Amino acid sequence: MFCQVYRSSRRQEMYLYVDKAEGLERVPEVLLQQFGEPEAVMLVYLDGKRRLARADADTVLKEIREQGYYLQMPPGAADLQRQPG
Protein backbone atom coordinates (compact mmCIF):
# COMPACT_ATOMS: atom_id res chain seq x y z
CA MET A 1 0.00 0.00 0.00
CA PHE A 2 1.24 3.48 -0.81
CA CYS A 3 0.72 5.47 2.34
CA GLN A 4 0.50 9.27 2.41
CA VAL A 5 1.76 10.78 5.66
CA TYR A 6 0.49 14.15 6.86
CA ARG A 7 1.89 16.38 9.60
CA SER A 8 -0.49 18.23 11.92
CA SER A 9 -0.51 22.02 11.74
CA ARG A 10 -1.71 22.18 15.34
CA ARG A 11 0.43 19.69 17.23
CA GLN A 12 4.12 19.02 16.82
CA GLU A 13 5.14 15.47 15.98
CA MET A 14 1.57 14.30 15.31
CA TYR A 15 1.17 12.47 12.00
CA LEU A 16 -1.73 10.96 10.10
CA TYR A 17 -1.16 7.97 7.79
CA VAL A 18 -3.72 7.16 5.08
CA ASP A 19 -3.97 5.01 1.97
CA LYS A 20 -2.86 7.30 -0.87
CA ALA A 21 -5.63 5.93 -3.11
CA GLU A 22 -8.32 6.98 -0.57
CA GLY A 23 -6.75 10.17 0.69
CA LEU A 24 -8.50 11.71 3.69
CA GLU A 25 -12.03 10.59 2.75
CA ARG A 26 -12.33 7.99 5.57
CA VAL A 27 -10.82 10.21 8.30
CA PRO A 28 -13.56 11.48 10.64
CA GLU A 29 -14.26 15.21 10.34
CA VAL A 30 -13.87 15.72 14.10
CA LEU A 31 -10.32 14.30 13.92
CA LEU A 32 -9.46 16.54 10.98
CA GLN A 33 -10.70 19.57 12.91
CA GLN A 34 -8.47 18.70 15.87
CA PHE A 35 -5.55 17.78 13.60
CA GLY A 36 -5.60 21.10 11.78
CA GLU A 37 -4.54 21.66 8.18
CA PRO A 38 -2.88 18.41 7.04
CA GLU A 39 0.52 19.01 5.44
CA ALA A 40 1.71 16.17 3.17
CA VAL A 41 5.24 15.28 4.24
CA MET A 42 6.01 11.83 2.89
CA LEU A 43 4.81 9.05 0.64
CA VAL A 44 5.93 5.61 1.78
CA TYR A 45 5.27 2.10 0.49
CA LEU A 46 4.20 -0.21 3.32
CA ASP A 47 4.28 -3.94 2.69
CA GLY A 48 4.88 -5.32 6.18
CA LYS A 49 8.63 -5.57 5.57
CA ARG A 50 9.53 -1.91 5.90
CA ARG A 51 10.35 -0.62 9.38
CA LEU A 52 9.10 2.72 10.58
CA ALA A 53 10.93 4.88 13.12
CA ARG A 54 8.13 5.35 15.66
CA ALA A 55 5.32 3.06 14.58
CA ASP A 56 4.87 -0.63 13.89
CA ALA A 57 4.27 -1.02 10.15
CA ASP A 58 1.87 -3.97 10.62
CA THR A 59 -0.23 -1.92 13.07
CA VAL A 60 -0.26 1.04 10.68
CA LEU A 61 -1.45 -1.15 7.79
CA LYS A 62 -4.09 -2.86 9.94
CA GLU A 63 -5.57 0.39 11.22
CA ILE A 64 -5.61 1.99 7.76
CA ARG A 65 -7.45 -1.03 6.36
CA GLU A 66 -9.93 -1.20 9.25
CA GLN A 67 -10.65 2.47 10.00
CA GLY A 68 -9.13 4.38 7.09
CA TYR A 69 -6.23 6.02 8.95
CA TYR A 70 -3.50 5.64 11.55
CA LEU A 71 -2.81 8.51 13.95
CA GLN A 72 0.74 8.73 15.30
CA MET A 73 0.79 10.70 18.53
CA PRO A 74 3.77 12.77 19.71
CA PRO A 75 6.32 10.86 21.80
CA GLY A 76 5.26 10.62 25.40
CA ALA A 77 1.58 11.42 24.74
CA ALA A 78 0.60 7.76 24.48
CA ASP A 79 2.61 6.93 27.61
CA LEU A 80 0.80 9.64 29.58
CA GLN A 81 -2.56 8.21 28.56
CA ARG A 82 -1.61 4.73 29.82
CA GLN A 83 -0.53 5.74 33.31
CA PRO A 84 -3.04 5.03 36.08
CA GLY A 85 -4.42 8.15 37.43
**Structural domain range at position 52:** 2-78
Instruction: Specify the CATH number for the domain of residue 32.
Output: 3.10.510.20
Tell me, yes or no, whether 40 lies in a domain: yes
- Model-level pTM greater than 0.95? no
Higher pLDDT, 53 or 19: 19
Tell me, yes or no, whether 83 lies in a domain: no
Relative to beta strand 15-19, strand 2-7 is antiparallel
Q: Can you give the pLDDT at residue 38? A: 95
Q: Can you give the pLDDT at residue 84? A: 46
Q: How many domains does the chain have?
A: 1
Report pLDDT digits (tens) over 21-48: 999 999 999 999 999 999 999 999 988 7
- 48 Cβ contact list (under 8 Å, min separation 6): 57, 58, 61
Tell me, yes or no, whether 46 lies in a domain: yes
Sheet holding 39-45, edge to edge: 39-45, 2-7, 15-19, 70-72
Backbone angles phi, psi at 3, to 5 degrees: -115, 125
Tell me, yes or no, whether 85 lies in a domain: no
